Amino acid sequence: SIAGLKGKKVAIAAGTSGDMLLRLALRKAGMAMTDLDIVQMDPSTIVAAFASKQVDAAGIWYPFVGIIQKSVPDLMELAKNDDFYPQTTFPSVFIARNDLVEGNPDLVRNVVRAIKDAQDFRAANQDKAIEITSKLLGIPADQLKTEAGYGRFMTSAELIKLTKDGTVNGWFSTMNDLFKTFGKLETSLDPKDYYLGDQYISA
C-alpha cells in the first residue's frame, strides 16, 4: 500500500506525471513527500535502479513500467491515473502561440477540426490507429498496443461535455497546483486564460 512506503527509498523523475501521481497518492493516503526517502533520477536510471532493487518504489509511467515488469514480473502498482479520474488526469495537449491564435483563426479552427476528427477515428478504430502510428513513428505495433492499453482515448463529444462542465479546467488547475508545489510556478493561471475550450467546442 501507499502507507507501506513510509521511510522507503522512492525514485522519481522530478516534475513528471510520475512525480505528480505519487504526490496525489500520498495526499489521498494522508502522507507527504517528506514521509519518503526521495531519490531523483532520470527515467532510464529509475528502470535500472528498480530492477536491481536499489530503490523500493518509483513514480514512473508507461512504457517504463512495462520495461520494469520484464525484470520484476511480480511488481505491484500502488496507484494509477484511473484512481483519480475524472477529478484529475494528465491530458496530452496541442499548443499554439498567442499571435497565431489571434492572427489566423481560420487556420486554428481547421487544425482543431482535424484534431477532433483524429480523436473520433482513434476512439472508434484503435487497432487501425495503432497500425498507422506504428508505421509513422517506426515503432513496433505491439509496443504501442501495450501503451494504448493504459490510455484513455475520448471522442470529441466526450471532451466537449467535459469542457462544458468544467472538468477539463479542473484538470489544469490541479496540475497548476502541483507545479506550484514543485516550485516550478509562483502563481496559478486560470485555465480559462490558456485552454481554448470555446474554440474546441465550436470548431
Residue-range domain boundaries for the chain? 3-83, 98-202
Would you state the pLDDT for residue 26? 95
Average the pLDDT over 70-82 and give the result. Answer: 89
**What is this structure's pTM?**
0.79
User: In this predicted model, what pLDDT tens digit does every residue of 136-148 receive, in sequence order?
Assistant: 999 889 888 888 8
DSSP 87: T
Does the pLDDT of residue 86 top 80, yes or no?
yes
- Band (180; pLDDT cuts 50, 70, 90): confident
What's the rounded mean pLDDT across residues 150-168? 95
Residue 34 has pLDDT above 90, yes or no: yes
What is the bridge-based pairing of β-strands 37-40 and 57-59?
A: unpaired
Model confidence at 69, pLDDT cuts 50, 70, 90, reads: confident
- Residue 169 contacts residue 197 (beta carbons within 8 Å): yes
Query: Quick check: 9 and 37 in contact, CB under 8 A?
Result: yes
Amino acid identity for residue 46 in this structure? I
- Mean pLDDT value across residues 123-134: 96
CA nearest neighbour of 129 among 140, 137, 118: 118
Distance CA 139, CA 130 (A): 10
- pLDDT level of residue 66 (50, 70, 90 thresholds): confident
| Residue entry with cell 476528427 | 117
Q: Which residues contact 118 (CB under 8 A, 6 or more apart)?
A: none
Q: What is the mean pLDDT of the chain?
A: 92
- pLDDT above 80 for 183: no
Average pLDDT over residues 32-45: 95
Average pLDDT estimate for 73-83: 89
DSSP code of 194? T
Domain at 3-83, CATH class: alpha beta
Task: Note whether 39 and 11 are within 8 A (CB).
Answer: yes
Confidence label for 62 from pLDDT (cuts 50, 70 and 90) = confident
135-140 contacts at long range (C-beta below 8 A, 24 or more positions apart): none
Q: What pLDDT, on a 0 to 100 scale, did the predictor assign at position 186?
A: 81
